[in-house]
Structure 1
Amino acid sequence: MDQLALIVGLLLATVVAVGLGDRLRLPYPVLMLLLAVALTFIPGFPDLEIPPELILPIFLPPLLFATAQRSSWAVFRVRWRTLIMLAVALVVLSTAVVAGAAWLMIPGIGIPAAIALGAMVAPPDPVAVESVAGRVHMPRRLITVLQSEGLFNDAAAIVIFQAAVAAAVEGTKIGPDVVLKFVVGAALAVVVGIAMGWLTSLITRLVASMVARSAVTLVVPFASYILAEEFHASGVIAVVVTALEMQRHARPQDAAERVTRTAFWDVVELLVTGLAFGLVGLEIQDVIRTEGSAVLGMVGTAVVVCILVFAVRFGWLGLLALSARKRKNVLQPTSAKEVLILTWCGMRGLATLALALALPLTLADGTPFPARDQLLVIACAVLLATLVLPGLTLPWLMKVLKASQDGTEERDAARVLARRAQAAAVAALKDHELVKELPPEKVALVKEKMTRLHAELLDGSLRNESLAEKRERGRELAITVQTIALDAARQEVVAARNEPDTDPEVADRVLRQLDLRTMIMPE
């Protein structure tokens, strides 16, 4: 009962943290982490005992799925270079540098255990980054870079970590087969994700209940993750691919389902994020309490590793900025200002904690895992340094660098999509037999409705006509006209969402206005 009460308490604390974060203009995941750490100082406070091997399968699938739903395949075709350089190459480089430093500073650690530490602290957390970046009005292009990195870097880190731990436990060496394992695992994960995406789309077409169709989307991420892991593939990649496939199969006419599903996932993402970072705070305090005064002797090594994590990221992003200037690649940092911002946004989170807790207690021969306690302390130190410090100071940094945007770029993109939707609606009406037979006054009414539709898509207003007015203008005709127009407009925005030059999140906002406009229409 204590475990259940603690979970409910953390969920309630998440709601409070969101409200407090809005008032203080601070990211609620950071507030949840600090709150959880503070709670553990209360005498008799219960421990939340979750087996380490279950932390990633419980929290990663829904959080990755929620983030991936805001992207599209077309965007990843454009971002492939950024994806490889950040989600794979930077993870490998960070792992190597941290492993080298740990091997030199920690007596008797061994190369495999040192590599395991490097893999633990290498991947930034996409959930923490997105929560912080959106609040400070970061340029949309930089958020795109961070999203591209965050969706796949866990996969590379987990493969390296598992290979390093296996080598440490068995007393063997890490060979080049790690690369082959990652490639094969990624390929199998893509197959699993595509299959699950297709199967989910089929199920949602067969199930009549809108509530049940939304509920299916909560089950699917876990199913994809578990199925991929059973095939020794990457559960992370499988979940992301499943979300992308479901978006690719989305139908323009599913307006009510999209609105319901979006609201449902907003709640799920908020509560799971709060619970996850609350767990991070509880585990950090538990590690500190377990190690006691021995933690002080590990501070020096932890500080060096924290500095290296920031330095490697800054140096690598600086090299990418130089290459981006030559290639004019807008999906990479292009200035020292952007390099500094992206470096500061390299926040570690749930994956770092889960991998640290997944370290085995002993080796195959029964001896203790090399420097396990110190590795836990270092991982927690990196987590705190990269999450709490940047999370609390990023608004100040953005203000000093004058890097915040007022949303003009997104509004311009929404305006372009709104015009496309309006043009598609008008074209559909011109080609429809019903409209061709309308008298001149009714044609004028159609044009007026299309003008109002364009305005609604831009400012989000949803004006509804009175029943009397609809009767005066021809209720049935007006409804038919609006249905034809809105169907064509939604079709155009859904098609645009899958285009490389379209920001999926902007398209989703315009599509939401069309969906809401459709739902308020009378039957």
Structure 2
Amino acid sequence: MDGTHLFELVIAMFLAIIVLHYIAHRLGLPPSVALLAGGALLAFVPGLPAISVDPELVLVIFLPPLLLDGAWSIAVDRLKRHVFGIASLAIGAVVFTTVVVAAVVHLLMPSLPWAACAALGAIVSPPDAVSARAVLERVHLPRRLQILLEGESLLNDASGLVLFRFAVAAAAGETFSPINAFGTFFFLAIGGAVVGAAVGFIWVKLVRRLGDEYLMIAATAILSWTAYLLGEQLHVSGVIATVTAGLIASWHQHTVLSAATRMRGTSFWNVLVFLMEAMVFILIGLSLRNVVERGGGFNALIESMALPAAAILITLVATRFLWILGSDLIIRLFHTLGTARSAPMGGGGVTVLGWAGMRGVVTLALALSLPQDFPGRDFILVMAFAVILGTVLIQGTTLGRIISWVGLGDVETERAPMTMSEAERSMAQVQLVTVQNLAYDDDGELIHPQLLRRYEQRVRASINYAEETERYSPLLHAHFDVVLEAVAAGRHELIRLHRAGQIDDETLRELERDLDLEELSAISAKA
């Protein structure tokens, strides 16, 4: 396929994304389901060339920005608060699932070497960040469950990748050592965190000096790929590097990015992430054709692969439930003894958390990256695709109903030390003091009365300005200079409250957005 045809295919994919999203909206389906099904149907359109997905290229293009977006928007305070729960899911659940799936596959396929069984277990064990985001953005969960799922999806890919590499190495004849595996994972994780921290702080220093908002947005856009590629080049975890860089950038973006940069950058990033997420599911669907052809057609696949696929799907769900239930029972025990900070999730939380385990692009990419001569490669590829289809189509479409069924849809389990209204009042008080200090001249005369009666005098001020521009222009400029000072004071107060742990990330972002809009309005009015 030449460059022109490739570009035409990309444009056709964008058009398909729009159509499929519209269909999903009309039918009330998760967009990921419509995109996956639509891509699978498109794969068999007569005359359309077969799509061959390069797994390394897919991971490099799509995974870093989607991980960065997740790290950018995650609530850091809750991430720290639930770090042990997230680690339990991102590491413990992945290892447990890999072992159990490997044992089940070996029972089903005794001729398949243990290393190949472990490779399949590692491929299907980590829930996917893209799939989780695509479903979670359409449902309302208690904040604790939301942060557990978001944190897990950001970090579990690193665990799955390490286990996968050891399984492939074992299949090639290398000896496996649990101690070496733990040491390697520790090195990859710590090394990735160090690389990500370095890249993140370099980004902070860089954007402070760029000055131009478009350069800042461009620097932020390439941050994810820089961290990921540098981590991979240094043979540490590119996933951990990207997440760490994203967390650091997210923490400092409130002070290093201007209001205009933040507003425009958010709009740009939302569109980019929307297209990337949609293209991932389209590509997964388009890959179905190669899977079916390698398996000998639909009939042959169903006859030979349906039972193993169903068994692996059931095993994945069961092992996740067992791990989460066991963890919750341990938390309940320590909570009863008074040694645990977190309360147990209860049956509803366990049910929702256990059911939310969709797989996606990482599972497919790992399966496709297996060497051509790897034992049972075609079987593993078919099973990986069946897991993606099963979890997205079954769990993705029913998660909302499960949440409603267990009664968690409108539950708020955590609150910040200060509510949004309290934070807004604190911000407004600081702004008022700033306006009072700046609204009077040296003789004590009020020179900015419209600031004290903003809405009543807005129309009158606009009329006066239109009629006597030369007279009112200096006063109007001074007026909005005070507005900008008040906005800066309010933002400083919000950041102080956030850094002191008195408000959470959601409160900070909601009130900061209001300040950004007020600042942009004042700048526009001055111009």
In the superposition, the TM-score normalised over structure 2's length comes to 0.88
Report the counterpart of residue 406 of structure 2 in structure 1: 401
Is residue 310 of structure 2 the alignment partner of residue 303 of structure 1? yes
Q: Structure 1 CA distance, aligned partners of 2:460 and 2:410? A: 36
Alignment match, 1:257: 261
Question: 1:349 maps to what in 2?
Answer: 360
Equivalent residue letter for 2:510: R
Q: What CA distance in whole angstroms lies between the structure 2 residues aligned with 1:56 and 1:260?
A: 27
Contact 1:78 1:500 in 2 (8 A): no
Match of 2:462 in 1: 467
Distance apart, 1:259 and its partner CA: 0.6
2:423 is aligned to: 417
Deviations 1:5-58 (A, max 9, x none): 222222222233333333333221221111101111211222233322222111
Q: Does 1:382 align with 2:410?
A: no
Native 8 Å contact 2:196 2:240 kept in 1: yes
Structure 2 spans left out of the alignment, 5+ residues: 466-471
CA distance change for structure 1 residues 251 and 339 in 2, over 3 Å: closer, same or farther? closer
Distance 1:123 1:375, change over 3 A: same
Residue 329 of structure 2, aligned match among 322, 325, 335? 322
Tell me how far 1:144 sits from its aligned partner: 1.3
Counterpart contact for 2:142–2:413, Cα < 8 Å: no
The aligned counterpart of 2:217 is: 214
Contact 1:72–1:497 (CA under 8 A) maintained in structure 2? no
Q: CA–CA distance in 1 between the matches of 2:105 and 2:69?
A: 35
Quote the residue 1:229 is aligned against.
232
- Distance in 2 between the 1:465 and 1:58 partners? 54
Aligned residue number for residue 460 of structure 1: none
Please give the alpha-carbon distance, in whole angstroms, between the structure 2 residues aligned to 1:262 and 1:228: 26
- Paired with 1:379 and 1:394, the residues of 2 have a C-alpha distance of 21
Aligned pair in 2 of structure 1 residues 178, 81: CA closer, same or farther (>3 Å)? same
Aligned to 1:365: none
| Shift, 1:352, TM fit | 0.8
- CA positional deviation for 1:207: 2.2
- Structure 2 residue aligned with 1:391, among 389, 392, 396? 396
* CA distances 1:432-484 after superposition (whole Å, capped 9, x unpaired): 465585858668755556xx8xxxxxxxxxx9996237759952443133112
Determine the structure 2 residue equivalent to 1:205.
Answer: 208
Structure 2 equivalent of residue 55 of structure 1: 58
**Higher deviation after alignment, 281-290 or 18-27:** 18-27
| d(CA) in 2 for partners of 1:26, 1:427 | 50
In structure 2, relative to structure 1, the CA distance for the partners of 1:5 and 1:425 (3 Å cut) is same
Taking structure 1 as reference, are residues 483 and 396 closer, same or farther at Cα in structure 2, changes over 3 Å only?
Answer: same
Are 2:65 and 2:224, in contact at CA under 8 Å, matched by a contact in 1? yes
Q: Which residue of 2 aligns with 1:29?
A: 32
For residue 317 of structure 2, what is the amino acid of its counterpart?
Answer: F
Whether 2:193 is the aligned partner of 1:190: answer yes
Counterparts in 2 of 1:482 and 1:352: CA distance versus 1, 3 Å = same
Q: Report how many residues are paired.
A: 504
Residue number in structure 2 paired with 1:372: 377
Match of 2:489 in 1: 488
> Given the two structures, how large is their TM-score scaled by the length of structure 1?
0.88
| Conservation of the 8 A alpha-carbon contact between 1:98 and 1:118 | yes
Taking the aligned partners of 1:205 and 1:442, their CA distance within structure 2 comes to 34
Give, in whole Å, the separation in 1 of the partners of 2:266 and 2:15: 21
**Does residue 1:245 correspond to 2:213, yes or no?**
no
Q: Which residue of 2 aligns with 1:518?
A: 519
Distance 1:441 1:19, change over 3 A: farther
User: Aligned-pair RMSD on alpha carbons?
Assistant: 2.9
Q: Show the 5 A alignment for 1:440-459.
A: 446=451
User: Aligned-pair distance for 1:501?
Assistant: 6.3
Query: What is the CA–CA distance in structure 2 between the aligned matches of 1:58 and 1:151, rounded to whole Å?
Result: 16
Show the 5 A alignment for 1:97-136: 97-136=100-139
* More off after superposition, 95-104 vs 1-10: 1-10
- Provide Cα deviations, 1:149-198, integer angstroms capped at 9, x if missing partner: 11100011101101111121235334421111111111111111111112
The 8 Å contact of residues 137 and 405 in structure 1, kept in 2 or not, is answered as yes
For structure 1, list consecutive stretches of 5 or more residues without a partner in the other structure: 363-368, 453-462
Whole-Å separation in 2 of the counterparts to 1:436 and 1:324: 62
- In structure 1, distance between residues paired with 2:398 and 2:476: 56
2:409 maps to a residue whose letter is S
Question: Secondary structure at 1:321's aligned position in 2?
Answer: helix
- Quick one: distance in 1 between partners of 2:322 and 2:88? 13
